Structure 1
Amino acid sequence: MAMDVINKFYSTVHTTVSQLSGVLPGNNVTREYEVLEQVCTAGIGLMWKVYNGYKKSTKQEVSVFVFEKKMLERWSKDDRETMLETLRRGVQQLTKIRHPHVLTVQHPLEESRDSLAFATEPVFASLANVVGDSVRSDKKLYDVEIRHGLLQLFDGLSFLHNDAKIVHRNICAETIVINKNRSWKLFGFDFCIANQPSVDGKPFWPCREYSTSIHVLAQPSLEYCAPEIALNSINCAESDLFSLGVLIFTIYSGKPLKMFGSDYSSFRRYAAELNQRKYPSMNSIPSDLIESLRALLHPSSHMRPQLHELKQISYFQDVGVKTLSYLDSLYQWDNLQKSKFYKGLPQIIPTLPHRVNLHSILPYLVKEFVNSPMIPFVLPNVLLIAEMSSQKEYCEHILTHLKPIFKLTDPIQILLIFMQKMDLLLKLTPAEEVKLHVLPLLYRSLECDMPQIQELCLAVLPTFSNLIDYNAMKNAVIPRIKKLCLHSTNVSVKVNCLVSIGKLLEDLDKWLVLDEILPFLQQIQSREPAIIMAIIGIYKIAMTNTKLGITKDVMAHKCIPFLMPLCVENGLTIAQFNTIVALIKEMFSRVEKEQREKLEQLSTIQRENKPRDASEILANELEKGSGALSQGSKANINLSNSANSDDDMFSGFSISQPTKHLNAAMQTSQPQKLKPNNDALKISHNASPKPDILSSLMNSNLSNLSNCSTPKTARPPTVVQSIVNPYASLGSSGSNAISSNQSRSNEDWTNSWHSANPLVMNNQLASPQAGSSSNNNLSSLDNLDPFGGGNKNISVQRPAVNYIYPSGYISGGVNNGNANSMNSMNNLTPLLPQQSTTQLQAQDYKNLNALSQQDILSFLN
C-alpha cells in the first residue's frame, strides 16, 4: 500500500515536471524560482495554471502563474494576438496595484516562446475552484469565510474605484483568487478601464462595446456584465457592483443568474427582463442578504447601494466576521488596542471552524511575534489553536513560528505561558525538536527569578523525563534542580525541587542516586516540615524501588544517622513523626535482616570449607564405639574448670600458670585435680557448655589413622586419649610408665595424622619421628579399649611422639602412689623423650606464645 502511494506520488510529480519541462525552460521565472506541483487554475477561462514554488535564494514560498501558448493554437492568428495582449496587459496592471485585497505580484511577467509566467504570493485556489456542487468537501467554503471574503472584496473594489479610479469590468469567480491565508484577492485586470478626464470633472470610464467578431475569452464574461452596458453603452463603477451581485448569487447557488456564452443578443434580452425587475429564485441565498442582493442587481446603476452601505447590513454583523475583519485592519492599531482585542480572542476562537483559525487567524497572530510587547497577548491564542490541531498541522503551521519564541526570556510572561502549556508542547512537538528547543526552554525557566515559573517548570519536568537522555539528565537537569533547591529562599520552590527529584528517581540509575541525590539531601539546611517530608519521600522511593535499592551499608552509615535527628525536629505533626519513625524502623529492620543473613552464610561457608581434624574424627568414633565413658575420664576432661578461669579471654578456654607439684596422691578410682604452680603450663577446654571439641576434631581423620604403618594395635586411641585428657595417663606408677616408654624406639606416624592435627598444621608441634613399620592397618575398632580394659593379649607397640606436653605430665611432678591405677592406663600414656623440667617448661611457653589469637579461635571452632 505504501509503495502504491509512493509510486502514485512519483507519477504525479513526474507528469507535472514533464509538462513544465516543455514550457518553462526558456522562461526567466525558472531562474529564480523552483516550480513544484500545480494547485489550481485562475483567470479568463481558467487558462492560468497555478503552481506552488519557492524562491531559490531565500526559500520564500510563492505561487507561479503559467500560461501555455499552445492553448491558443486552435484560435486564429488575430485572436491569439489579441488574447496574448490582453493577458500581458492584465498582469502589468496587476503589478502596478498594491493593496491588501489585490493579489500581490512577487515577480513580474516573463515571456518565452512557449509561455507567459509570473510569481505571486502563495495561492490556495480561485473562487471558481471552490464554488459548485463538484467541489471537494475539504475545499468547500464555510459561511464565515464567504461573509468575510465578500467584505474583503468590498474593500478591494472601494480602493479600486475611489483611489485607483479603475473599473474592473470582469468581476467573476475566475478572477477572484483566495490566497494561502484564505483572504480573497482581486485578480484578472485584463479588461479594466482607467478613469478618463471629463469636462465637468466627474469620473468617466469609456465603454467598450461587446464584439461578436472577437473570441469570447478575449472579452468580459457576459454572465457578469451589467445591463447598462448592453442597453445604454454606459460603463461605470456601479457596473462592477452588478457583477458583484452576480458573484454573490453564484457563490450560494453554484452558477450565475443565466448562462450566455457568446450569445450577445440573448444577453440583451435578459438585460431588458431585469429592467422589469424579473429576478430568478433566491431560495439558496441567506435571508438577511436577499434584499441587498436584489439592490445590487438593480437594472439602474444609480439605484445600487454603495459598498460602505453594504458593510452595515446584518449579514456582516456576525462575531466571527467582525473578528476576521479586525485582524485585517490590525496594522492600523496601537499596542493598547491590540492587547484588548487579543485578550478577548480566546473566547471567539473555539466558535470558529478549525480551518478558519489555522489559515485565517493564525497568520495574523504570528506576524505579531516581531512585536515583543505583544507576544504575551498573542501566544495564548496561538497555543489555543495548536491545541485544536493535529501534530502534522502543528509542525507545518505553528512550530516553525514558535522556535524563535522558545529562546526569549523577556517579557517573562512568555516563559510562564510556555510552562502552563508544556504538556501540549510535549504532546505535539517531535522528540528531536523537544531536545533542541523545549529542553533549553526548561533550563532557562529553572534559572529565572520568578518562583511561579520555577514551580511550573519543576512540575512538568518529570512528564517528559523519558525524552531526556542520560547525559543531559546527569549534567544539566539534576545539577540545576539541586542548585535551585539549595539557593532558593522560597520554601515552596524547595519542596517542588524535592518532589520533582522524587518523580525523576525512576528514570535515574542506582549510582546516580547514591552519588548525587542522597548526598545532596544532607546538604539541605532547611528543616521545615514540608521539606522534611519531601526528603523522607525521596528516601522511601529510593529504598523501595527495586531498580534503585539503597544498600544496607549506605542505610547503616549515611541514611539512618541522617534521618534520626529529623524525627525530633520541632513543628512535626504526629502523622509526620510516625512516617519518619516508620521509615527508620524499616531501614533498621532491613539492615538487621541482610546482615544476619550475610553472617549466617559466612558461618555456613566456613564450616563447610574448614578441614576436619584427626582428633575430631577419632573422638566421635570413640564416642560411638565405647558407648559410655567412665566418670573418672569425664572428670579428667573438666579438670581445668576451676576458679582460675575467671580471667579466661576465650569461652571455654583457660590458661593458668605452671605448677611445680601435684597433690600428694591421685585416687585410683577418680583422678585428682592438679593445683596450679609455677612449673607447668595447663591448657584445658571446658566441656560443660558444649561437646568436647578436640574429640570431635579427631573424629574427622579416623580413616587416615587406619592406614598407619604400625602393627595392629590400639595405639592410635592411646594417643588420642593422651591428647584429650592428658592427665588420664598419670597415676601412682606414672614414673614407671614413663621409664618404660623411654626404652621404646620412636616409630613413624603417618602424614595423615600430621596433616589432621591442628597444632601440627600451625607448625607449633614437631612431626612424629619416622620409623619402621609393618602391617599395622586397623580394620576395626571393636577390640580397642581407650581405658586399657581391652584384650590384654594384644601386643601394642607405641610410636614415640616428638611433641611437648606440659611439665605436669612427667614423672618428676607426679606422685607415684596408686600404682595400680597408673598401670591400668599405661597403654594410654605416650612415650616422652627424656628432658629436664626446665627445658619442658621453656618449650611450653614457647609453644603457647607462638599460637596467635586467630589460631586459638580457629582451633576452638
Structure 2
Amino acid sequence: MFAAASSFFSRTAISQSYNIGGSTNGSRSTTPTPSGSATPMHTSPPVRVGLWKVQGASHKVTNKRVSVWTFDKRAEMEGLGPLSRERVLEVLKAEATALSRLRHPSILEMVEPLEETRNELIFATEPVLSPLDISIPRGPHFTALVELDEIEIQKGILQLCKGLSFLHSSAKLIHSNLKPECVIINDSGDWKISGLGLTIPLTTADGTPTRWEFPGFDGRVPSYIQRSFDYIAPEYALDEVLVTASDMYSLGALIYAVHCKGKPPFSNHGSLGGLRDNAGRPVPDIGQLDSDLQDLLRSLITRGSQSRPTPSTLPSHSFFSSLPISTLNFLDRSNFTAKTREEKISFMKGLTGVLSRFSEGLRIRKILPSLLEEMKDTHLLPYILPNVFAISNILSASQFAQLVLPSLKPLFTIKDPPQNMLTLLDNLEMLQSKTEKGVFREQVLPLVYNALESEHAVVQEHALKVVPNLCETIDYAEVSGVLFPRVALVFTKTKILSVKVATLVTFLSMVKTLDQSNLTQKLCPLLSKIRTKEPAVMMATLSVQEAMGFKVDREAVATLVLPQLWSMSMGPLLNIEQFQRFMGAIRKLGDRVEKEHNQFLRDSQRIEDRSATANGVAAPNLNSGVDFESLVGRANGTVKPDTVIDNTKSWDDDVWGSIFNSTPEVISAITPVTPQTASTPATQPPVPLPQAQSLPSSPRPTNNATLSRPARLGAKPVPSTSFDRSVFSTTIQSSQPPRVTSPPLQPQHTSSSFSNPSTAATQRPNYNISLSDFSATSSSSTNSFASPPSYIAPNYTPFMSTTPSHPMTAPLQASPLSMGSMLAPMQPTRPAATNKPPSKDDWGDFDPLK
C-alpha cells in the first residue's frame, strides 16, 4: 500500500498527459531518419544526453510528439556526497530553467516545464534524434544515429552561430560549456544549443559586470555538470576574463572534433596546466582537411580572443560559400519569405539540379519541410512539385503518407493552373506506389477524373496516357464502372483530333482488361458512331477493332466488328497501305469466324448424332449417295425408266388405279401401323366401329368388286349409318392378335345432324376407315350411332387383298375389302355398280387436277 501510494504521488502531469515510449490510440508516431526509413519513436531505444535519459513520447489527446527528459535521482546520484548531490541538482535545474526562458530557433525548445518529484526531474522538449557527440563519424565500424555529411555539418555550424549570436547579443549570456554533448540534433536535422546549466551572464541584476569564477574540475562530480577543459577558452581559465569570444573558441574546438572523429584539438584531461601548455600551440593534424576548413580552424582556435570571428561574421567565411550551403541559406524561412515571386520561381527551377548534392537525410529532414511549407502559394506549385516528387522517391510508403500526402491532398481536386495537374499526372505511378490501395482510390484517382474533364487538351492527353497502367493495377469494378465511362465521355465530346486518337489508343489498352460484355455492348456501339474520315482516327479504330475481334466471340465478330471494318475501309482519305491494312485485318477475322463456326457446326452435328443413337433412332447418313430411282421405287413399288406420259390415258385411271391395285406389302410399307399388344380376352366385347364410306367404283375393279369414285374434297359430308357387324366376327377377334389402336375419327355432332342435311353441310368432313361396300343397314348399326361419338384419333390399317396371305385374313375372304386404310369423307353408302361406268352424277364436280 505504501508503494502504491508513493507511486501515485510521484506521478507528474507529463506522465499523465503523455504516453512515454508508447503510442496514442493505436497510432504509431514515426521519426524520419537520414537513410529514408521511419523509426517509431516508442520503439527506438532511449538516448543519453549527459545525466538525462531522453525518450520519445506522444500526447494522449493531440498525439503531438515530444521528447521527455528524465533524471533519476537515486540511480544517477548514488555514491555522491551531499554537496555533490546538491551541485548536480542545481546545474540540472538551471539547464531546464534556461531552456524554458530562452526561445530561439537554434536553442532547444521546451514544451513542458520542469517537474520534480521525490525520485526524478522531468521535462519535455521538441522531438530530438541524438546529441552530437554520438553522431560524429568515428570510423567504418561506428554506427551513428545520424549520419553527417559535410553539407549538414556546415549547416549545423551556421545554426550554432545563430544561437550563439542570440545568446551574446540578446540574452547577454556566455555559454561557457559548448561541446558536442551539449549540441542536440532534432528530428528535422537542425542543430540546437543545449547544456545551458553553466551559462554566465555578462552583467548581474544591478547592471554590474559578473564576477569571474575559477573553473575547477572535480573528479567526484559527473563531467556533464562541469566545464570541459578540452573545449574551454584559454583566456577564461588563464586570464580570468569573461568575454563572448570564449564561446567561439569552444565552437572551433567542436568543429575540429566533428571533422576528426570526435577528438578535440587538445586533450587537457581536466588539468589547468595542460590547458596552459597547449594554449599557444598551433592546431594539430589538420593537413588532411580542406584548405578553407583549415583556415577557419586557425582563426577560431587561438590564444587571444581579439582575432576570432564573431557569430555574425563567421557565416561569411569562404568555408560556407559552397553552392549547397548557399541553397540552404536561401531556403531558410527567415530569408525565403522576403524574396520576390520571380526570385522564388528561379530558385525552385534551379533546385532540381542541386538536390543530388545533398544527403538523403538532409533532403528529408531539412529541404522537404521547407518546400511543403511553401506549397501554400498556388503560383509556385508548378515549380515546387517537381522538387517535392524528386525527394519523395527516396521516402518509404509510411514516410510519404505522413510527410507529403497531407500536403498533396488538396491539389488532387484543383484544376487550375493546369501545370499542377500535368506534374501530378507525370508522377502518378510514384503516387500509386507510395500509397495504400484504398487511399489511392479515394484520394488520388479523383486527380485522373478531373484531368479527363479538363478544358485543356494537353491535360486530357496526359490523363489518357496514365489510364493503361491504371487498368492493370486498380480493381476491375473501378475500371469498368468509372474509368471506362469517363474515357468514353471524352471520346464522345472531344472535337480535337489528337484527343480523339488518344482516347482510341486508350481503348486499345483497355481491350485486354474489359470483358466481352463491355466490349460488345458498350465499346462496339461507341466505335460505330465515328463520323470522321481522318486516316489517323480510322487506323486507330482499326487497331481497337482488330484487338477486340480476337477477344469477343465469333458472332460478335461477324455481326459487329467486320461490318464496321468494311465500312471504314471505304474511307476516301485512306491510302493503299492503309487500305491493305484493313483488308489484312478483315481476312484474319474472317478466317477466325469461318474456322470457329465450322467447328461449331461439326460439334453440333456430332451431338445430334449421339443423341439420336441414344434414343434408338438411326441418324440419317447425309453423305451417302441415294439413287433417285431407287428412292422413288421404294416408295411406289416400281419405277419405269424415263416413262413418257400418255396424254390419251385418263389421269384418274392412272392415279386411283395405282392406289387401288397396290399390294398389301407395298401399302404396309408406306402406311404407319400401330404396334400390337397382347391378345385381348375373348370375353371382351368388340369395339364398335363406324361404317366406313365406300369409295365409288373404279374403272379397274379388283376381285370383281367395283369401287366407287371418292367424293370431291370439300364436298358436304353426309354421315354414314351403314354398318355390318358380320365383318368383325368373333373368329377374327380370336384368331388375330389384338391391336392397340386409336378409335376412328368421328364427327362431334348429335344424331339429329344425320337427318338434317343443312346441319351436316356445315360440319367439317370426317375421315373414316373404308372397310367394304355394304348395302344393307342393320338396326343394330343404326342404334350404335344413336349417341354422338367423341372425336378420337383414326386407326390406320393396311389394305388387305382378297387372296389371303396370312391365316389372319382367312375370315375376310368373303367380303370385298379393298380400302382398309384409305381415308375418305363420310357420305351415304351407294351400291356399287359392277359394270356401270362412273357417270357425271357419281363424280360430281370432282377435278383431281384442280
Aligned AA (2:550): T
Partner residue of 2:153 out of 135, 146, 158 = 146
Q: Which residue pairs with 1:649 in the alignment?
A: none
Partner residue of 1:459 out of 459, 465, 478 = 465
Aligned AA (1:62): V
Do the aligned partners of residues 163 and 676 (structure 1) sit closer, same or farther apart at CA in structure 2, a change above 3 Å counting? farther
- 1:47 aligned onto 2:32: no
Alignment of 1:192-591 (within 5 A): 192-196=199-203, 205-211=210-216, 215=221, 216-253=223-260, 254-260=262-268, 263=270, 266-267=271-272, 269-283=273-287, 285-328=289-332, 329-391=335-397, 393-545=399-551, 549-552=552-555, 554-591=556-593
Q: What stretches of structure 2 of length at least 5 have no aligned partner?
A: 1-5, 22-41, 660-664, 680-696, 709-723, 744-766, 769-791, 808-812, 826-831
Q: Which residue pairs with 2:78 in the alignment?
A: 73
Q: Secondary structure at the match of 1:178?
A: strand
Deviations 1:800-820 (A, max 9, x none): 54333899xxxx99999xxxx
Deviations 1:754-782 (A, max 9, x none): 99xxx99xx9985117999999899xxxx
Q: Secondary structure at the match of 1:506?
A: coil
- 1:803 aligned onto 2:817: no
Do the aligned partners of residues 163 and 395 (structure 1) sit closer, same or farther apart at CA in structure 2, a change above 3 Å counting? same
Do the aligned partners of residues 212 and 480 (structure 1) sit closer, same or farther apart at CA in structure 2, a change above 3 Å counting? closer
Question: Per-residue deviation at 1:839?
Answer: 8.5
Contact 1:40/1:129 (<8 A) preserved: no
Partner residue of 1:82 out of 66, 84, 87 = 87
Deviations 1:276-331 (A, max 9, x none): 33543335543331232122111111122333443233322222222222222334
Aligned-residue sequence identity (percent) comes to 26
Question: Per-residue deviation at 1:165?
Answer: 2.2
Q: Secondary structure at the match of 2:508?
A: helix
Q: Which residue pairs with 1:652 in the alignment?
A: none
Give me the TM-score of the superposition, normalised by structure 2. Answer: 0.72
Do the aligned partners of residues 23 and 501 (structure 1) sit closer, same or farther apart at CA in structure 2, a change above 3 Å counting? farther
Question: Per-residue deviation at 1:182?
Answer: 1.0
Aligned AA (1:767): Y
Report the Cα distance in structure 1 between the residues aligned to 2:617 and 2:48, rounded to whole angstroms: 110
Q: Which residue pairs with 1:767 in the alignment?
A: 796
Aligned AA (1:66): T
Q: Secondary structure at the match of 2:512?
A: helix
Deviations 1:328-368 (A, max 9, x none): 23344343322211110110112322222222221211222
Q: Which residue pairs with 1:99 in the alignment?
A: 104
Do the aligned partners of residues 280 and 598 (structure 1) sit closer, same or farther apart at CA in structure 2, a change above 3 Å counting? closer
Question: Per-residue deviation at 1:234?
Answer: 0.7
Report the Cα distance in structure 2 between the residues aligned to 1:194 and 1:256, rounded to whole angstroms: 26
Aligned residues: 712
Q: What stretches of structure 1 of length at least 5 have no aligned partner?
A: 1-20, 643-661, 665-673, 685-693, 710-729, 779-794, 817-834, 849-861
More deviation, 332-341/743-752 = 743-752
Alignment of 1:746-761 (within 5 A): none
Contact 1:734/1:814 (<8 A) preserved: no
Q: Secondary structure at the match of 2:375?
A: helix
Q: Which residue pairs with 2:746 in the alignment?
A: none
Deviations 1:27-80 (A, max 9, x none): 21123322223555454xx11221112222322222222222221232222322
Aligned AA (2:463): C
Q: Secondary structure at the match of 2:265?
A: coil
Q: Secondary structure at the match of 1:223?
A: coil
Q: Which residue pairs with 1:34 in the alignment?
A: 19
Contact 2:671/2:798 (<8 A) preserved: no
Do the aligned partners of residues 152 and 483 (structure 1) sit closer, same or farther apart at CA in structure 2, a change above 3 Å counting? same
Report the Cα distance in structure 2 between the residues aligned to 1:679 and 1:741, rounded to whole angstroms: 15
Report the Cα distance in structure 2 between the residues aligned to 1:404 and 1:219, rounded to whole angstroms: 52
Give me the TM-score of the superposition, normalised by structure 1. Answer: 0.71
- 1:165 aligned onto 2:161: no
Root-mean-square deviation (Å): 5.2
Q: Which residue pairs with 2:693 in the alignment?
A: none
Question: Per-residue deviation at 1:167?
Answer: 1.2
Q: Which residue pairs with 2:701 in the alignment?
A: 735
Q: Which residue pairs with 2:24 in the alignment?
A: none
Report the Cα distance in structure 1 between the residues aligned to 2:279 and 2:64, rounded to whole angstroms: 50
Q: Which residue pairs with 2:193 in the alignment?
A: 186
Do the aligned partners of residues 565 and 543 (structure 1) sit closer, same or farther apart at CA in structure 2, a change above 3 Å counting? closer
Question: Per-residue deviation at 1:708?
Answer: 13
Deviations 1:698-740 (A, max 9, x none): 59999x999999xxxxxxxxxxxxxxxxxxxx99x94244628
Report the Cα distance in structure 1 between the residues aligned to 2:322 and 2:7, rounded to whole angstroms: 49
Q: Secondary structure at the match of 2:278?
A: helix
Contact 2:706/2:834 (<8 A) preserved: no
Q: Secondary structure at the match of 1:139?
A: coil
Question: Per-residue deviation at 1:473?
Answer: 2.1
Aligned AA (2:539): M
Q: Which residue pairs with 2:784 in the alignment?
A: none
Q: Which residue pairs with 1:825 in the alignment?
A: none
Report the Cα distance in structure 1 between the residues aligned to 2:514 and 2:255, rounded to whole angstroms: 65
Report the Cα distance in structure 1 between the residues aligned to 2:739 and 2:280, rounded to whole angstroms: 142
More deviation, 105-114/556-565 = 556-565
Aligned AA (2:124): A
Question: Per-residue deviation at 1:260?
Answer: 4.5
Report the Cα distance in structure 2 between the residues aligned to 1:599 and 1:839, rounded to whole angstroms: 54
Do the aligned partners of residues 346 and 583 (structure 1) sit closer, same or farther apart at CA in structure 2, a change above 3 Å counting? same
Do the aligned partners of residues 25 and 135 (structure 1) sit closer, same or farther apart at CA in structure 2, a change above 3 Å counting? farther
- 1:120 aligned onto 2:86: no
Report the Cα distance in structure 2 between the residues aligned to 1:683 and 1:323, rounded to whole angstroms: 119
Alignment of 1:631-780 (within 5 A): 634-636=638-640, 676=651, 698=669, 734-737=700-703, 739=705, 767-768=796-797
Q: Which residue pairs with 2:68 in the alignment?
A: 64
Do the aligned partners of residues 240 and 765 (structure 1) sit closer, same or farther apart at CA in structure 2, a change above 3 Å counting? same
Do the aligned partners of residues 144 and 738 (structure 1) sit closer, same or farther apart at CA in structure 2, a change above 3 Å counting? farther
Deviations 1:85-138 (A, max 9, x none): 222222222222222222222222222222222222221111012124464056
Question: Per-residue deviation at 1:416?
Answer: 0.7
Question: Per-residue deviation at 1:535?
Answer: 2.1
Q: Which has the higher helix share?
A: 1
Do the aligned partners of residues 205 and 556 (structure 1) sit closer, same or farther apart at CA in structure 2, a change above 3 Å counting? same
Contact 2:47/2:130 (<8 A) preserved: yes
Report the Cα distance in structure 2 between the residues aligned to 1:836 and 1:606, rounded to whole angstroms: 54
Do the aligned partners of residues 628 and 333 (structure 1) sit closer, same or farther apart at CA in structure 2, a change above 3 Å counting? closer
